Structure 1
């Protein structure tokens, strides 16, 4: 699974019974900050069958997932927009973790970091998907 290389992957196991997909997720934004950190956010329509009880109290049809890359060693970014669908590839390479996001010939994001962790996973209601 894509989250096997994440620091804190146990959170996904506990909250979603290992069922959390970034396949065809919408690439929402990227932030490079604090000297060597990158925050990337996705929106996905793939809602797991197992969700936290507190989420069942309000309507939602998607998830907002934010990943934090800490200790960035390599960053390559080519492109001029976000808001496209993608399936990020996340894998462990020795002592580092790499994430790759490509969209046709228009966008490329490649980053190698010491750690990739879950920043947040939140339910939300997307009116486009109603």
Structure 2
């Protein structure tokens, strides 16, 4: 599971509880801030049952979060598509932390000295109909 790389970070468990598992996410975009930081933006369509009550009461039906690479060592991008479902592959090695995001026509690979979960926030996705 890709997010197991962030087990030391309590951000996911603070928001969604300890049993949170989300293999499939939607890749939204990649932002290269500068030579020191690269951010991957993902979406979780449909909130899990463990989402904060205030998100559900507030009418939100999705969440977005970022994975931020600090001191990126390598960034490879082939294709230019976004907005696709994926199961990110993350690993930690002696080189650093790596992330691979793929679809049929796009592949993005990044490795950095360190990666962290950035902001996790709710939003309303118009593609999801309310029950």
TM superposition score normalised by structure 1: 0.86
1:76/1:111 contact within 8 Å kept: yes
Aligned to 1:31: 31
Q: Structure 1 stretch 67-76 or stretch 92-101: which is displaced more? A: 92-101
Residue in 2 that maps onto 1:21:
22
Q: SS of 1:47's equivalent?
A: coil
Structure 1 unmatched runs, 5+: none
Q: Secondary structure at the match of 1:128?
A: coil
Q: 1:96 to 1:116 in 2, by over 3 A?
A: same
Match of 1:78 in 2: 78
What is the rounded CA distance, in whole Å, between the counterparts of 1:120 and 1:31 in structure 2? 14
Task: Measure, in 2, the Cα distance between the counterparts of 1:59 and 1:38.
Answer: 31
Question: Corresponding residue for 2:40?
Answer: 40
Alignment RMSD (CA, Å): 1.9
| CA distance in 2: counterparts of 1:97 and 1:68, whole angstroms | 11
- Cα distance in 1 for residues equivalent to 2:21 and 2:119: 13
Aligned-residue offset at 1:125: 1.0
Greater shift in the superposed pair: 67-76 or 3-12:
3-12
**Unaligned regions of 5+ residues in structure 2, if any?**
none
Displacement after TM superposition at 1:51 (Å): 2.5
Moved over 3 A (4+): none
**TM-score of the superposition, structure 2-length normalised?**
0.85
Whether 1:116 and 2:115 are equivalent positions in the alignment is yes
